[in-house]
Amino acid sequence: MQHPATFEAHAENGTPVREGGMAALEWVVARAFFPLVLGGAVFWSIAQIEAGAEPARAVFLPMLLSYAVIAAVERILYWQPAWLHSNGDLKVDIGHLLVSGLLTTELLKVPIVFASIAAGVWIAGLAGGSLWPTDWSLWLQLPIALVFGEFFLYWVHRLSHEVDWLWRFHAMHHSAPRLYFLNAVRFHPVDIALSTFSPMVPLILLGADGRLIALFGLVSAVHGLFQHANIVLKLGPLNWIFSMAELHRWHHSRLLEESNTNFGQNLIVWDIVFGTRFLPEDREPPVDIGIAGLPSFPMDYWGQLLSPIRWRAIQRESAEMGAGPSMIASR
């Protein structure tokens, strides 16, 4: 049975061609949905924080609502019909959400944050005061923090594609057979710990407080959902600021020359600086995604969790299946 939002006519890459009211709705959502949701989440959270709310509580509701509304819109204004259906990956991604997205970061947060705060106090003592402009408006602090923190995110992500032992942990994220909102948490615990704390620690060392750290986490979470969402998005000039879905879909390509691009987690600024931004205008991103050359990569939760330990065995099994060189083997 055809999905209610799917019409007989389709674009060459499988994207449904919508007509009438659905076409008008898609046009608006494709351009306004992301900035409205992200901007609304940040506006609400800053207002709550300035009213005296505890930062973690201030960002919780908009983060939760973002999950719900993005998941709902995916079912109506989807980009790829084939990506609507789970082939066992939904259950696996829920496992990653609970373990990597929640448990791992929460367990590590207390010792890492306390150690960073202690080191930050020591640095402030040497410098004669905090190096971070904590007295500035949060509306000014947040964009500065995003650009600064993105530098560390960019290099952690890029090195995860270029260094063998890091790729073993990051490969799990690229094993996804489709892109949809919950791919934002499809990370090995080691990988997500590196991504979470690589920008957080430098910010705390410079003196950024809990308000800014919470807002940084909010932007990362909401942006990550959109970045992987199976929604028609046409962001135009914003693709020169944010590392959004139109860019990130190329990052999940099976072709190395396409996947080794667009490393930005939230912003695309450092890809521009280091020449890795990639958004061709003559074709659409690939629909067939995954890890080239590793057909035996496990698709169950425990198999993925243990994949870094079994890496050589996975490569050997893939070679026995007649697969070509894996992505990392070409690096």
Report the candidate in 277, 215, 234 with the shortest Cα–Cα distance to residue 35: 234
Give a yes or no: residue 51 inside a domain: no
Burial class (CB in 10 A: 0-12, 13-18, 19+), 288: exposed
Please give the helix or strand (H or E) that residue 64 lies within, else none.
helix 55-74
Give a yes or no: residue 64 inside a domain: no
- Looking at the structure of the chain, the number of domains it has is 1
Give a yes or no: residue 170 inside a domain: yes
Give a yes or no: residue 153 inside a domain: yes
Enumerate the β-bridge partners of residue 10. 16
Give a yes or no: residue 310 inside a domain: no
Q: Which domain holds residue 153?
A: 83-292
- The pLDDT tens digits along the chain (331 residues) read 344 444 444 556 677 889 899 999 999 999 999 999 999 999 999 999 999 999 999 999 999 999 999 999 999 999 999 999 998 899 999 999 999 888 888 888 878 888 998 998 889 898 888 899 999 999 999 999 999 999 999 999 999 999 999 999 999 999 999 999 999 999 999 999 999 999 999 999 999 999 999 999 999 999 999 999 999 999 999 999 999 999 999 999 999 999 999 999 999 999 999 999 999 999 999 999 999 889 999 999 999 999 999 999 999 999 988 755 555 433 3
Give a yes or no: residue 139 inside a domain: yes
Separation between Cα atoms, residue 248 and residue 111, nearest integer Å: 32
- pTM, two decimals, is 0.91
Give a yes or no: residue 34 inside a domain: no
Give a yes or no: residue 120 inside a domain: yes
76: left (phi over 0), alpha (psi -120 to 50) or beta: alpha
